[in-house]
Chain A
Amino acid sequence: MTETLPSPVVNADSAPYWQGAREGRLLIRRCDACGQTHFMPRHLCPACWSADLRWVEATGRGTVHSFTIIRRAPLAAFAPRVPYVVALIDLEEGPRMMANILGDDALDTAIGDAVAVCFEDRGEGAAVPQFRRAGGRG
């Protein structure tokens, strides 16, 4: 039996984020009080504690801050995908997030690579943000 990849878990902090992913949009939080953007979504700004936040659509462009190639999957659902890349992506807007690097050339990933967001289906219309190498160094 093949286990399916995990679906997003939606909660009050993250519902618009995951709805955005369903629509192919990467949404991040920006603070209207101090102007900082942050990841992950929260009830208040971690920089100034203002709750005056808005959702903004990120460009989806970023660079690889670091990455690893997973050779032993931690969960059975990911075993068929081994080897795969887990990376920390610095978004153009500033925040850092985790994702896989997908695509035929994913295993060639290097620190500093420019990447662009894509969305991976996780069943019943749900999707998670992922990234592909965009060519060049950010």
Chain B
Amino acid sequence: MSETSLRNRVAIVGVGESDIGKVPGMTGLGLNAQAAKRALDDAGLKPSDIDGLLTAYSFTEPYFMLGSVLCEYLGLQPRFNASLVVGGATPAVMLKHAAEAIVAGQAEVVLVTAGENRATGQSRDQAVAALTAVGHPYFEQPYGSSIPGFYAMIARRHMLEYGTTREQMAEVAATTRRHALLHPNAHMKAPLTREQVLAAKPIADPLGMLDCCLISDAGGAFIVTSAERAADLRAKPAYLLGIGEFHTHEHIMCAPSLTEFGATRSGAAAYRMAGLGPADIDVAELYDCFSIVPIIEAEELGLCPRGEGGRYWLDGRAAIGGGAVPVNTHGGMLSHAHAGAAGGLFGIVEAVRQLRGGLGARQVEGAEIALVHNEGGILSSHCTMLLGKDKA
């Protein structure tokens, strides 16, 4: 059976971010609700227009059926609802599921949210311990492994095979910080140099504290509807041109490779659906839970040849105005926000804003096609999307 193309069928018509940073006055559900309200206002829709909801998961609040819990909290009774868990890949996968439901006539207006109060809803030790749970409970956790440690092993392998350097990884953090300083709602407000990243407290060699993503209180949301309905709404739509996912493992000990991951396949599926290629991309929002990750994704998604991801940053090509495809124009998870699945969702929010235009110094001139990549686990689950200012 041939694939039903989602190209040009749906659009993101509203985006919202909650207050970001340390937001002690709000719960995780509250952050989701605030972001949802802002996204709905952005779209010019009312709560009664929503007939579908997708959300992710929470490490900080003890809810089981989080989708239903959020519907209850928001007073929604939709005909389409689920909570999905593919780690950091969840937001992009949620867009795919929302698009499929809309194309199948199972929903017309889908609210997609994610967010947690990770900064104030738990102690830093609790946060670190909770994240340890991502390691295999029986065959990885007994060795005192950690998520930074898993990504550190990937970084070290990349350094060996391609000559990638700590300095190149540090530039990922420095570049994204410069971008975050152009974003009014970014968690991080102070400049950051490559030297500071290199001198930061070591966490898991070769990664230091500033190679690791933030722990924020943050919620994000977007509204998806059919391309037909999008045309009648207030905000400029961002059309879904292509989307694809690919999954190779969950635990790093079972990863088929430490240098080649599923982003190549998810990206190829997205490009194929859109009828586009890497040369068509104007701006990219990549997953950056650790500084090595967008280096690898830039290679897998064709922004640069394999092995040249580190130089892509060190040469300034990832920067806004750097002459190539700017990456993580909002500051990414290293500098804008990271709170569970919301981290990757903010890349989608930023892509929509870049396509709408008018972002001042942060604006990528002439942005017409944006790529967003989300990954979950230890580069385990991948979803790539292409969004367009116009239909493809």
Q: Nearest-CB distance from B165 to chain A (Å)?
A: 16
User: Is the Cβ of B253 less than 8 Å from the Cβ of A68?
Assistant: no
Of the candidates A14, A69, A76, A98, which one forms a contact with B253 in the assembled complex, judged by CB atoms under 8 Å apart? A98
Q: Are B143 and A14 in contact (CB under 8 A)?
A: no
Please encode chain A, from 92 to 123, with 1 for each CB lying within 8 Å of some chain B CB and 0 for all others.
Answer: 00001111100000000001000000000010
Q: Is A67 close to B, CB under 8 A?
A: yes
Q: Among the interface residues A11, A67, A71, A99, which one has the most CB atoms of the partner chain B within 10 A?
A: A71
A70 proximity list for chain B (CB < 8 A): 144-146, 149, 204
- A76 proximity list for chain B (CB < 8 A): 125
> In the assembled complex, which residues on chain A have CB atoms less than 8 Å from the CB atom of B148?
68, 72
Query: What sequence of 0s and 1s flags, for each residue 55-79 of chain A, a beta carbon within 8 Å of any chain B beta carbon?
Result: 0000000000111111111111110
Q: With contacts defined as CB atoms under 8 Å apart, how many contacts are there between chain A and chain B in the complex?
A: 104
Binding site for B on A (CB under 8 A): 5-6, 8-9, 11, 14, 39-40, 65-78, 81, 84, 86-88, 96-100, 111, 122, 128
Q: For residue A99, which residues in chain B have a CB less than 8 angstroms away from its CB?
A: 143
Residue of A nearest to B138 (CB): A9
Q: Could you pull out 8 A-B pairs where Cβ atoms are within 8 angstroms?
A: A5-B144, A39-B139, A66-B156, A68-B153, A71-B201, A71-B205, A86-B144, A98-B140
CB distance from A6 to the nearest CB of B (A): 5
Considering the chains assembled together, what is the distance between the CA atoms of A97 and B136 in angstroms? Answer: 11
Q: In the complex, which residues of chain B have a beta carbon less than 8 angstroms from the beta carbon of A11? A: 138
B253–A8 contact, CB under 8 A? no
Report the minimum CB–CB distance from B147 to chain A (whole Å).
Answer: 8
A130 to chain B, nearest CB (A): 8
- Contact check, B138 vs A69: say whether CB atoms are below 8 A apart: no
Q: Among A65, A74, A81, A97, which residue has its beta carbon within 8 angstroms of that of B128?
A: A74
